[in-house]
Chain A
Amino acid sequence: GDSVTQMEGPVTLSEEACLTINCTYTATGYPSLFWYVQYPGEGLQLLLKATKADDKGSNKGFEATYRKETTSFHLEKGSVQVSDSAVYFCALSDHDREYGNKLVFGAGTILRVKS
């Protein structure tokens, strides 16, 4: 079945450092890919998405590019802030009708940014 693997955390960075959180996926169809963010005590918010190969999703300074050849969707930010501290989830939704009814999530990566 479909699966998502993301780097284990926690990731601890100083303010203004560069961030990369790795995400790779396995899917039988042609998935859409997502990054969700969960701030402390809150629900999940959609951070960015990409629906086909070579698409780049971006939001709030975060970017991720859909790489079909490497089945990857790594999250990047050039300069993190303390307010970026959260749990980040990579997820996919397969376009195949049989699988298109759910999001498949990675285990989540905790990001801590120090001032």
Chain B
Amino acid sequence: EAQVTQNPRYLITVTGKKLTVTCSQNMNHEYMSWYRQDPGLGLRQIYYSMNVEVTDKGDVPEGYKVSRKEKRNFPLILESPSPNQTSLYFCASRTQGAYEQYFGPGTRLTVT
């Protein structure tokens, strides 16, 4: 089944404790992206990657890091999480030449 997977689905952590949210897609998509969803704001892009070893900032990159060492994986790293990063996070992917993106199930992160 073609899909985007994320882990973990739920995470509660404390301020300053480094964490990684994994994202993987099995559709051989070149493009991958991370969004955060906050009430009243819709989804906002954090980082994106056009292909392996090619990443760039989205609209809200502060406090996040990403890497793209393999085509299928695009982890999101929070080196020192803060409470304002409490949010619902989505990974997405698309193939080159298309504009619709396919989303993972989401990761709900709470930072206390």
By a beta-carbon cutoff of 8 Å, the part of chain A in contact with chain B is 4, 32, 34, 36, 42-46, 49, 51, 89, 91, 93, 95, 100-103, 105-108
Contacts and interface: CB of A to CB of B under 8 A. Distances in A.
A106 B102 CA distance: 17
Contacts of B4: 43
Interface stretch (B12-20, B35-43, B62-70): B35-43
Contacts of A43: 4, 90, 103-106
B103 A44 contact: yes
Nearest to B3: A43
9 contacts: A42-B105, A43-B106, A45-B103, A49-B100, A91-B43, A101-B33, A102-B33, A102-B45, A108-B42
Contacts of B41: 107
B31 interface: yes
A46 B100 CA distance: 8
A106 B42 contact: yes
A29 to B, nearest CB: 11
Give chain B's interface secondary structure class.
Answer: strand
A101 B48 contact: yes
Contacts of B43: 44, 89, 91, 103, 105
Interface centre among A45, A51, A102, A107 (most CB of B within 10 A): A102
Interface residues of B, number: 25
Interface in B45-64: 45, 48, 50, 56, 58-59
Interface string B91-112: 0100000011111111000000
A106 to B, nearest CB: 5
Contact of A102 (B42, B58, B103, B106): B58
Contact of B99 (A45, A51, A89): A51
